[in-house]
A and B are shown apart, each in its own frame.
Chain A
Amino acid sequence: MDSCLNSHIVICNWNDKGDTIIKELHSNVHRNKKPIVIITRDPQSVPSSTEEEYQKVFIISGDPSDEKILRRASLDTADSAIVLSDFERGEYADAYSIIIALAIETINSDVHTVVELQKSRNKIHFKNSHVDEIICVEEITEKLVAQSAISHGISSIYLHLLSATLDTNEIYIIPVPRHFCGLSFRGAMKRVLSDKAEFILIGYMSGGQIYINPAKDESGHELKEGDRLITIAYSCPEFEKKG
């Protein structure tokens, strides 16, 4: 394996979702495809595919909670780490994920760590860890079922937004361009609409909070440096340099 790996993605454990994750991460929609290192105790379970998406994918056999193994995957220079559930551990799958997440954060606390959780009740155990995102799909899916009861067929829109392909839109969160600083969300929206931009502005992030299409009276917030715009687009939006 290339020992000079940098800004790569480390996947700990392998399960049935791994294949989709590799294909989404190495989809043609991304210009810069980051190398992926998979750490698993069962390397045979990873498909030995010749598909384009499986290029720049490396496998390390071993226990992902082992510090030495994580260092072999150059975790200290990695961009992101994904901890998938080890289904063989049954009820203790989440407990094992917590151990791996703690090991990752000990080696490199700056790495963006994403953990797949089986039971939402185990979320509390991640409270004191520095895990960046906990994906408990049970919660998201339940909300999706509720949304589909409110508006039939709506789930396919959300699935569309979750798919990273050339002919689907995704959610992109981008820094506020300089010429948008000082504008309200409404002002920024009018600018985007008049420019006939290829993306749809839906909200902004400020101070860690997300604001989706704020109401007229709530949109007084002036966008500033450090805020981020939430957009829906086929590929990551780029602003023309103005002012």
Chain B
Amino acid sequence: MKKETRAACPFCNLHCADLRLTFDGGRLVGFSPACSLGEAGYRSATGRLPAARDPGVMRTWLEESRQPMILLSGEVDCETAAAAVRLAKCYSAFLVCDEEQTGLTLGLAMQSAGCLTGTLGDLRGQALVVLCGVCPSHIPPRLDEFIGRDLVKDCLHLDPANPLDTLRRLRLAIRGNSDVLPPQLAPVAARIAAAPSGVLVFDQNWMTAGPLFAAELLLWLEDLNQQRRWYALYLPPAPNSIGVVETLLAETGYPGSLRFNSGGIDFAPRLWQAGRILEQGEADLCLLVGQPRPFSKNTLPALRKIRTILLSPERPAWRPSLWQPAARAGVDASGLVQRLDGTPVNLQALISSRRPAMKDLLSELVGKEVQV
């Protein structure tokens, strides 16, 4: 029997909440409005679901571990991230997050330059959109609908070979010093100068260049805002990058790179990154909550030397010591996520399965009551 359901999508950072899905006996047969990413995600996620395993092994391994590390992916829901914090507290673990570098870079840039941003409804109808070095594959398929323009054709693409220098020159030009502008950038500067309002869209592509670069981008925004109204919009890499970092901030005050101990929390952003901890042999167990980003070729051998537990809805391409299939928020579990603009979205369970939700698995692993 066919059944139509309204749903919010878990497969990209837009979390479109206007989906209409039709299931026939648990099989997806209808999907609207059109989105190739969402449809493929649902088809794959509602296919043959692996059964859950006994979490007893996970508990034993955690208890045997001298120094566990929990690596949190940006694809999990906020409650799972909060449960991971509780688990890390309980086992005095490292807690690192796939999203923390971006979070830190952006955070440091904000601390030095500030930022004006808006939720997607407020960004609609701005006069100009400038894509700053955005990798086309990072643009969510339906962002056009939210921003109200064709992001491929109807906006300014800025992707120079030397972006930092270009940004500086453009910023000085906006301040009135057009002498510093090479001829090829003059039309760009003119178009920006003529727009009464706009949005600077950027992604991790430029963020990886470091906080100075991010700060330059935000300073540019600041200068634009002296006379007009310009907003920044960051396209995070994972579906819930924003929600996971926000949850860590709310729970601990930090975006990741943490080590819990009896005295409290230590935060060391340069020291406690997943790759470094693994390569230095500082952890003897790695609990991966959600599919992590691909490991570097130096990290992967180090990871293979220790016990690894992966909680994830999908079978991984690499081979962890233990894969615990878990439900996916928005498919067979509920969960709170945050859209790329920070707006919270509730994901509902659409189908039932025997896979446990990650937040429940982690809560079960806490095992003992956290002391007040």
Q: A and B: real partners?
A: no
**Taking beta carbons and an 8 Å cutoff, which residues of A are in contact with B?**
none
B interface, CB within 8 angstroms of A: none
